[in-house]
Amino acid sequence: MISLALQHLKTNFGYDSFRPGQTQIIDNVLNNNDTLVIMPTGGGKSLCYQIPALCMEGTTLVISPLISLMKDQVDMLVSSGISAAYINSSLSYEEVQNVMYGVQSGKIKLLYIAPERLENERFCNELAQINVPLLAIDEAHCISQWGHDFRPSYRSIQQLLHLWDKKPTVIALTATATEEVSADIQQLLSIEKENTFITGFARENLSFSVLLGENKEAYIKKYVKANENEAGIIYAATRKSVESVYEMLNKAGFSAGKYHGGMFEEDRTYEQNRFLNDEVQIMVATNAFGMGINKTNVRYVLHYNMPRNMESYYQEAGRAGRDGLDSECILLYSSSDEQTQRFLIDQAQDRSRIPFELQKLHAMIDYCHTERCLQSYIIEYFGDEAGQDCGRCANCTDNRPQLDVTTDAQKVLSCIVRMGQKFGKQLTASVLAGSRSKKVLEFNFQKLPTYGILRAMNAKEIANFIEFLISEKLIVVNNGQFPTLSISDSGKEVLLGQKKVLRKEARIIESTVEPNDP
């Protein structure tokens, strides 16, 4: 079977070999095992169902949520000599009927549909008449309410599984599923755990860095100047900050485009095309930009703000270097980013999602403070095996000596215990810094023996140190109405002097002025 797959790979797509993971996945699908694929954007998920579709009798049904992506995929397949079609809300009734005739006559190998179609009973009755050997579910995390993009229409897929006498083989694909989300997909689509493939998260041409406490605007100007001839994307968290970075760059004489949800569609398309056609090198955008954009020569992705979770970060950062050439992904962190994201999460309609969103946010904050290999952190977050450290990221190449900070860590941990493990990071930092703020005095914390015990640092440095201890899993953040800190079991070992804490020597930053954040 796999030799037939290879033949299709060569004749239809012009590639000589499968990427790591693709062979096992395709083999598993061709053996009629329902399969879950977790592979990052650009990893090569599409071939994992397109090749089996060509090897199987009948029409493979592909559920895909994005109209623009659907069209691109179908155009690409048709240009490779494969008969494919799509049905979504952009088609007229007659066009839909024409596609369905093609499908019924057995001519179409791949039919892409939007999930909303499945809510139409008549359409499902028509589907029931055709031979569907394989059901591919793209962006499968949309089926899970714990995913970052839950779509209720995806739930109709479950009924689809029972539409035919012979159940089609199922392949669900996503770029971003945490353990929780993948367990949910497995359960909702009855996929066995052993048929789950997590692969390809390492991107060997990307080097990651996180910069704390930089003057973001000055940094961006300097970076963009040094990379003047390269294409890059700068992501910001809000429309307002996109506008301000965009203005700053244009005022400084750089030609940048902008893209966010508050612009007219016409203007967005215009700006997007200028970037795709290399008329502007820099695109300043919110996360609204990038879905389905296949610009391969993006040399850097800068994040002006920390995104709300690792899923979004890796998806956005992963738009760099799709051509395989070395590219940089730099995240400029400031503590106000955390507040912005907390505020945005708090706006959620569905209150029950908030604890999950906060948990994801904490993993993102940990990423910004860890001193471990950043690539390994990402790979492990997505459940893939990290293997060796990347040797390229800012942490791997950072050769500042490590200092023994066990005593300072003990001071922080002890302060948290003395405050009853009921307060958050900012107040703990204020107590350790010896602040006489209203809140400190209100709780009488100036009387604690740990009050002012880290006076040599300012409250911001202490807050960063606390974040570092959280990323080392010595402190746990508990989500309630307000996030509170408590001590983990390893934290207790540190307090008892059974475990050491090492941290890189403080970095000297040229300027620590914070720009106006959103």
Does 46 sit near ligand ADP (CB under 6 A)?
yes
Does 295 sit near ligand ADP (CB under 6 A)?
no
Q: What phi, psi does 473 have (nearest 5°)?
A: 65, 30
Residues 47-66 within binding reach of ligand ADP (CB under 6 A): 47
3-state DSSP percent of the chain in helix, strand and coil, to 5: 45, 15, 40
Q: Specify the stretch interacting with ligand ADP by CB under 6 A; choose among 38-46, 268-276, 327-335, 377-385.
A: 38-46
Separation CA 37–CA 383 (nearest Å): 12
Q: Specify the stretch interacting with ligand ADP by CB under 6 A; choose among 39-47, 179-187, 404-412, 418-426.
A: 39-47
Q: Using the rule CB under 6 A, which residue among 2, 23, 33, 42 binds ligand ADP?
A: 42
Report the residue number, 41 or 186, with the smaller CB distance to ligand ADP.
41
Do 411 and 453 form a contact (C-beta atoms < 8 A)?
A: yes
Q: 438 burial class (0-12, 13-18, 19+ CB within 10 angstroms)?
A: exposed
**Which positions ≥6 away from 135 have C-beta within 8 Å?**
60, 61, 63, 157, 160, 161, 168, 169, 170, 171
- Residue 155 DSSP class: G
> By CB under 6 A, how many residues form the interface with ligand ADP?
12
Report the residue number, 51 or 419, with the smaller CB distance to ligand ADP.
51
Smallest Cα–Cα separation from 246: which of 230, 229, 263, 266?
Answer: 263
Separation CA 148–CA 173 (nearest Å): 15
Strand bridging mode 298-303 / 327-333: parallel
Min dist CB 322 to ligand ADP, Å, is 7
Q: Using the rule CB under 6 A, which residue among 1, 7, 10, 15 binds ligand ADP?
A: 15
Report the residue number, 74 or 409, with the smaller CB distance to ligand ADP.
74
Q: Specify the stretch interacting with ligand ADP by CB under 6 A; choose among 36-44, 228-236, 282-290, 396-404.
A: 36-44
Report the residue number, 72 or 404, with the smaller CB distance to ligand ADP.
72
**Which positions ≥6 away from 180 have C-beta within 8 Å?**
144, 146, 356
Q: Specify the stretch interacting with ligand ADP by CB under 6 A; choose among 34-42, 81-89, 240-248, 405-413.
A: 34-42
Report the residue number, 82 or 463, with the smaller CB distance to ligand ADP.
82
Each residue 222-251 as x (binds ligand ADP by CB under 6 A) or -, in order, gives: ------------------------------
Min dist CB 378 to ligand ADP, Å, is 16
Report the residue number, 176 or 305, with the smaller CB distance to ligand ADP.
176
Do 458 and 506 form a contact (C-beta atoms < 8 A)?
A: no
Min dist CB 43 to ligand ADP, Å, is 4
Does 39 sit near ligand ADP (CB under 6 A)?
yes
Report the residue number, 5 or 212, with the smaller CB distance to ligand ADP.
5
**Which positions ≥6 away from 512 have C-beta within 8 Å?**
213, 215
**Which positions ≥6 away from 263 have C-beta within 8 Å?**
271
Q: Specify the stretch interacting with ligand ADP by CB under 6 A; choose among 11-19, 244-252, 348-356, 359-367.
A: 11-19
Report the residue number, 76 or 448, with the smaller CB distance to ligand ADP.
76
To 10 degrees, what angle do helices 354-369 and 374-381 make? 160
- Token pair recorded at residue 231: 């294409």
Min dist CB 247 to ligand ADP, Å, is 33
Q: Specify the stretch interacting with ligand ADP by CB under 6 A; choose among 13-21, 238-246, 472-480, 508-516.
A: 13-21
Q: How far is CA 92 from the centre of its chain?
A: 35
Does 44 sit near ligand ADP (CB under 6 A)?
yes
Do 421 and 485 form a contact (C-beta atoms < 8 A)?
A: yes
Do 310 and 188 form a contact (C-beta atoms < 8 A)?
A: no
Min dist CB 137 to ligand ADP, Å, is 13
Q: Specify the stretch interacting with ligand ADP by CB under 6 A; choose among 18-26, 89-97, 384-392, 488-496.
A: 18-26
Bridge partners of 331?
A: 210, 303
Distances (CA, A) of 113 to 22, 24, 366, 416: 24, 26, 38, 53
The full length of the chain comes to 518
Does 18 sit near ligand ADP (CB under 6 A)?
yes
Min dist CB 25 to ligand ADP, Å, is 11
Residue nearest to ligand ADP (CB): 44
Q: Using the rule CB under 6 A, which residue among 21, 43, 213, 491 binds ligand ADP?
A: 43
Report the residue number, 16 or 442, with the smaller CB distance to ligand ADP.
16
Report the residue number, 41 or 410, with the smaller CB distance to ligand ADP.
41
Min dist CB 174 to ligand ADP, Å, is 9
The DSSP code sequence of 72-116 is HHHHHHHHTT--EEEESTTS-HHHHHHHHHHHHTT--SEEEE-GG
Min dist CB 276 to ligand ADP, Å, is 15
Does 151 sit near ligand ADP (CB under 6 A)?
no
Distances (CA, A) of 173 to 47, 222, 273, 291: 11, 39, 29, 16
Q: What phi, psi does 334 have (nearest 5°)?
A: -140, 155
| Contact set with ligand ADP (CB under 6 A) | 15, 18-19, 22, 39, 41-47
